[in-house]
Structure 1
Amino acid sequence: MKLQIEEYEVNSCTMFLEPVNYGSKIYSQIFELEDEYISPFTPLELIKKSCNYFGVDYESRKKGTRQLIGYNRKIPIAIEPANRIYFFPTSSPTRHECIWIAHEHVENYRRIGPNQTLVIFRNKQSRIFQVPFSTIEGQMLRTALLKTKLMQRIEGNKKLIYPIQDRKPVTASESPHGYE
């Protein structure tokens, strides 16, 4: 039985968010490593709320991703890079059928049919998505590019803060003999 929850933030256990018709509304079916939930919010609303939860709004994440990887459509979102929480959409995020998949949890994927892709997750669960193989493959590559670019920036920034070359020894301005 799926538990219906009111509040939810995407986290390191979230594998994917899938839209589900619930009466006349679109809800989200949330798949975690060991649990499933139903949320009264759409997958895109949950992605936006999760970005906000981690301190950055969705539009800023989109803008940053565009600048880093140069793509404008179906772009992946770095919800929380420090914990490797990156999600990618399977179609335009504004479309009702858009599923959001966590890059970190995908172990493998393969073509099943013209518009069907089997995704095998790291916890050995699998799911057939009604999405072309080329879409999943492209989104996996875009998300990997985003992760790489962000890590390069983070690592490059550390080097700027902590320069290693031309270090001079530090000496005290007073004699240590007065303290004995």
Structure 2
Amino acid sequence: MFIQNKYIINPHFMYMAGQYDRNAKLCTLVTELDRTFIVDKSPLEILNDSIRCIGFDLRGAMETARWLLGNKNMCPIMVNPVHRICVFPDKSSKHNDTKWFNPVHITRTISSNQQAKVEFTNGLTITVPMKLYSFNHKLQTAEQFMKMTIGIEKEPFSFEKDPRKGA
């Protein structure tokens, strides 16, 4: 399989997951619409590099997601608002085998043996070891977050000070 030294998430990105190479180094298996390959970086490094390309960082993106969605665990992350690329994890980002999904390319989810089967726009289907309800909830949160952040871009909001709270 082809190994790349670096990778920036683009609109063709469908999902990625951590995978160890033969030297026990954490790399990333990336699946795009028309190819699958390994990147010699961890998933979090890929996310951080991709977000840095637009002038931000992973930590700031995670804090913004928590701020907008409430203090939720495993929030989706806006990678590139210009290209409308948002990703969400199937479990905590602290796990090295976490899968990160792009909701734009998910066309259908179904239950199979108490696991979620995810179908993508190119016809690929994978099984995610979690209940369908849990996966769909994460997917829905990611879609909601995309609408919120893209909505802010089109119609920015501002805060007003509550006069009852003083100074």
With normalisation by structure 2, the TM-score equals: 0.87
Query: Structure 2: how far apart are the matches of 1:118 and 1:71?
Result: 28
Q: Which runs of 4+ in 1 moved over 4 A?
A: none
Query: Structure 2: how far apart are the matches of 1:72 and 1:117?
Result: 22
What residue identity is the alignment partner of 2:15?
F
Would you say 1:101 and 2:101 are equivalent positions? Answer: yes
1:80-99 superposed matches below 5 A:
80-99=80-99
What residue identity is the alignment partner of 2:138?
Q
Would you say 1:29 and 2:32 are equivalent positions? Answer: no
What residue identity is the alignment partner of 1:76?
P
Q: 1:79 deviation in Å?
A: 0.3
1:1-180 superposed matches below 5 A:
2-23=1-22, 24-114=24-114, 116-157=115-156
Query: Structure 1: how far apart are the matches of 2:131 and 2:80?
Result: 27
SS at match of 2:126: strand
What residue identity is the alignment partner of 1:108?
R
Larger Rg: 1
What residue identity is the alignment partner of 1:19?
G
Q: CA RMSD in A?
A: 1.5
SS at match of 1:83: coil
Q: 1:26 deviation in Å?
A: 2.0
- Whether the 8 Å contact between 2:84 and 2:150 is mirrored in structure 1 is no
Q: 1:155 deviation in Å?
A: 2.2
- Whether the 8 Å contact between 2:90 and 2:98 is mirrored in structure 1 is yes
Q: In the comparison of the two structures, how many residue pairs are matched?
A: 156
Query: Structure 2: how far apart are the matches of 1:132 and 1:21?
Result: 26
Q: Deviations over 1:56-78 (max 9, x none)?
A: 10111111111111143101000
Structure 2 unaligned blocks of 5 or more = 158-167
- Whether the 8 Å contact between 1:69 and 1:145 is mirrored in structure 2 is no
Query: Structure 2: how far apart are the matches of 1:44 and 1:18?
Result: 10
Match of 1:165 in 2: none
With normalisation by structure 1, the TM-score equals: 0.81
Range that drifts further, 61-70 or 86-95: 61-70
Instruction: Tell me: CA distance 1:83–1:122, structure 2 relative to 1, closer, same or farther (3 Å).
Output: same
SS at match of 2:48: helix
Q: 1:52 deviation in Å?
A: 1.0
